Amino acid sequence: MGRTGTLCNCFIASFRTPISICRRKKPLIPWRKLNLMAASMDPSDTKTYQQNVLVMRHGDRLDNFDPTWEKTADRPWDPPLIQNGLHRAFGTGREFRTRLPFPIHRVFVSPFLRCIQTASEVVAALCSVDDDPNAKSSNDVVAIDPSRVKVSIEYGLCEMLNKTAIRIDVAPKDGIFRFDVPQLEALLPSGTVDPTVEPVYKELPQWEETVRDARSRYEQIIKALADKYPSQNLLFVTHGEGVGVSVSAFKEDTNVIEVDYCAYSELTRQVSLKNESFSAGNFEVLTESGQTGITYIAE
């Protein structure tokens, strides 16, 4: 069953580089053009187009390469990326920019540092004024155009808050995961944060949410954000389990067995616009197993 609404504005993974990207036979109409078209449409007219959504895992996290780091860390449950993780994230952003047949309009990101750093590198690649093929990270970007992509932090994309994903000995003793949102937003490319966006999840889930609840949350947030911005293409930067759900929830009888660092899925659905309201079909998963760092099998 599709969706209708009003138009408004934990895997232990190996490391593989994305090798290819699905291409759309019917590209999405840019949202600015769509808004102009909608304004000039006869009220009885219906416009149909494609919405594209990418769901991406963060890059290589430090604690998986330096097990001594967490012993002295103030926030041992919130590791940063290693240098290779930053490079991998930037490279994936360049892949999005140069090989996708549609633009990404908005990025939503988990508040965990590894996801913020990943999103920062991807957005820098997407917004770079001069697309230097030799650039390895955001440090090599001379100037960006912040009007190309807008970014927002979304609690609903956070890590599973349970012992399956975060060891009890590194989790906060009181079970409260604290994030300084303004400080995290300052890590994103200047001018790209959209301060007008209201998050879907105003608070983090409670510590020790079940795996089932976490998977339901990931599915719900993908649908909710897509419905909130139905005329835009979206990128969600999240965690391994979230990427896995983006496949298993929308591809029937599928079991995801591996999600690499910076792996991503590509979803698409048909959206119809009429009288400032929309209706949308179900998401189709376009990413094949092994194509972009996700391995899955039919159950």
For the full predicted model, state whether its pTM sits above 0.95. Answer: no
- CA 113 to CA 161: how far, in whole Å? 15
**pLDDT score, position 275:** 78
Whole-number average pLDDT of the chain: 88
Q: How many helices (H) and strands (E) are present in the chain, helices listed first?
A: 7, 10
**pLDDT score, position 42:** 56
Query: Token pair for residue 279?
Result: 């209706």
- CA 50 to CA 73: how far, in whole Å? 45
pLDDT under 70: residue ranges of the chain: 1-44
- CA 155 to CA 196: how far, in whole Å? 16
Kindly tell me the sign of the dihedral angle through the C-alpha atoms of 185, 190, 196, 200: negative
**pLDDT score, position 37:** 47
Q: In a 3-state reduction of DSSP, which class is residue 55?
A: strand
HEC secondary structure over 14-50: CCCCCCCCCCCCCCCCCHHHHHHHHHHCCCCCCEEEE
- Binning the chain into helix, strand and coil, the percentages to the nearest 5 are 30, 20, 50
Query: What domains appear along the chain, each with residue ranges and CATH number?
Result: 47-298 (3.40.50.1240)
Query: Token pair for residue 156?
Result: 């609903």
291 to each of 67, 287, 294, how far by Cα in Å? Answer: 30, 6, 7
266, 228, 272: which is closest to 250 by C-alpha? Answer: 266
**pLDDT score, position 242:** 98
**pLDDT score, position 277:** 87
Q: Using an 8 Å Cβ cutoff, are 249 and 219 in contact? A: yes
Q: Using an 8 Å Cβ cutoff, are 242 and 157 in contact? A: yes
